[in-house]
Structure 1
């Protein structure tokens, strides 16, 4: 014979045990400042004896607050844990959530029609979004949801706080820090379009306006390409002839394969500057350098310890701090964008 399920204790049970009114129990948990300390302690002791816990769902319905922050991930969910800089971004969000006594909900997207419903159905008070594309329907849906939101890296959208560095200026600066005028420049870049098409292009194959979201939907990709183009042109090179390897994912193996393919397209044996859009891609490219009989200088992004040890020039713009800034904006309702400070670090610097 099955054992009857134990009845869950209620507010009335706690009130009877503590000798107070049910409203006093509610105040003791939800508005403790309204209850004398001795009375609240008596209520908490009675609740502990009965095994009572407030119903979080009911509390959220009463207050209109879930005390949960949603993180919308445009990549595969495991990317947040596999990629060291994405993990730093998530850690920054967590730092703020812990301080604000707020939970964190990861919301994956798949690039299909179900994304909007999945994101809007999440029981959260606000959103933090990882960089996406300008025409992402999730971005527009979040902006119109009435819940505050912040996005790392863009694209900028009315009602959503955009947090990130000046990617174009930083890309130009890290490229200019290398012996660019005396070397052949090549680029290893992030995807240009939603299809994440990979391959090797030349500068002439890219849109003239790299910051036009209709031409390059990923704003980080477009801005960094524009910055590299600025520096390459300033150094006296013809951007039209510069080879650009576009990779599908920000992974070290992709960087190695892209660098190897780029090196095969180059003539002569002169020095090369590899302008990579992340430290992971630069460190991958470094694995291919040992097979190339020429001098190679590498640049990356995020200034990781491993990249610094490997002699990679990089852009330092803390993703952990960007995560904190996004979380603070989303929890406070701030919609003003924030430019994140950045510096160039590398051999002899930082």
Structure 2
């Protein structure tokens, strides 16, 4: 015969055990300064004997604070742990939460009608949003929720603090650091649309205004493509003829496959410059170049040691610091969005003077 479930002790049980009024027990846990130290000690001892713990949900309803920060993720949740830079971003958020004695709630979105309810019903005091698309209904829902929120990388939205580097300027700078004039440029790009369509395009297949969120809904992708176009045009290349491999996700193996596919579209064996939107994609491209023994310059993004020691130019814009900045913004209504510092990082075999910002 199953053992009957033990009744959960209540505030009244603790009050009776400690010989005080139920309101005094409530004050002991929620407003300890209102209770004499000896009385509070007696109440806590009684609670420990009974196994009583305050109901965190009820406490949150009374105080109006959940003491938790929501992190809204448009990727698979495992991406936050599998991708080194996403893990750094999450680590930055948790740095702030630890110092503020807060918990973290990871809230996945799937791009369907359930997203808004899932996000808004989470018991959190504010939100940090990972980069998403401009027409994501979660943006408007969070902005109108009355809770402070910050988004990393955009898209900009009224009521949300936007934090990230100047992607367009940084992309132009890292591309210009390579020998563009003497090589054939190709690009490995993040997704251009919510469906994450992959494939190989040419510059003339893309919208004229890459910064228009209606044309390229992922703002990071549009800004970096615009920066690459700026540098390539300045170097004398025909943007319309530039080959661009769009990958579904930021994974090294996809960078390797994309680079191999791009090489198959090129004639001859002349030098190539591969402009990749992350170090993970660039490292994948590096493997493809090694396998085919093709001479190539490579750029990435994130400034990782693995990339720079592999001969890859990169952009350093600390995602851990961006995570901290987003968390601080999501805990305060007074912090304005800002662009984070970035710098071009040269491969380690080059002289330090070649690094620019």
> For the superposition of Structure 1 and Structure 2, which TM-score range results when normalised by the shorter chain?
over 0.9
- Does the CA-based 8 Å contact 1:17-1:46 persist in structure 2? yes
Identify the residue that residue 275 of structure 1 maps to in structure 2. Answer: 275
Identify the residue that residue 101 of structure 2 maps to in structure 1. Answer: 101
Identify the residue that residue 116 of structure 2 maps to in structure 1. Answer: 116
Classify the secondary structure of the residue corresponding to 2:291.
coil
Q: Does 1:232 align with 2:193?
A: no
Q: Does 1:284 align with 2:301?
A: no
Identify the residue that residue 193 of structure 2 maps to in structure 1. Answer: 193
Q: Does 1:15 align with 2:21?
A: no
Identify the residue that residue 174 of structure 1 maps to in structure 2. Answer: 174
Identify the residue that residue 145 of structure 2 maps to in structure 1. Answer: 145
Q: State the distance in 1 between where 2:269 and 2:173 align.
A: 26
Q: State the distance in 2 between where 1:200 and 1:274 align.
A: 14
Q: CA RMSD in A?
A: 1.5
Identify the residue that residue 247 of structure 1 maps to in structure 2. Answer: 247
Instruction: Give structure 2 stretches of 5+ with no counterpart.
Output: none
Identify the residue that residue 72 of structure 1 maps to in structure 2. Answer: 72
Change in Cα spacing, 1:308 to 1:35, as seen in structure 2 (3 Å) is: farther
Q: State the distance in 2 between where 1:334 and 1:229 align.
A: 36
1:7-86 correspondence to structure 2 within 5 Å? 7-86=7-86
TM superposition score normalised by structure 1? 0.96
Identify the residue that residue 302 of structure 2 maps to in structure 1. Answer: 302
- Does the CA-based 8 Å contact 1:269-1:293 persist in structure 2? no
Identify the residue that residue 318 of structure 2 maps to in structure 1. Answer: 318
Q: CA deviation at 1:39?
A: 2.7
- Does the CA-based 8 Å contact 1:159-1:335 persist in structure 2? no
Q: State the distance in 1 between where 2:343 and 2:2 align.
A: 67
- Does the CA-based 8 Å contact 1:72-1:119 persist in structure 2? yes
Q: State the distance in 1 between where 2:236 and 2:243 align.
A: 15
Q: State the distance in 2 between where 1:234 and 1:193 align.
A: 27
Q: State the distance in 1 between where 2:219 and 2:279 align.
A: 19
Q: How many aligned positions are there?
A: 350
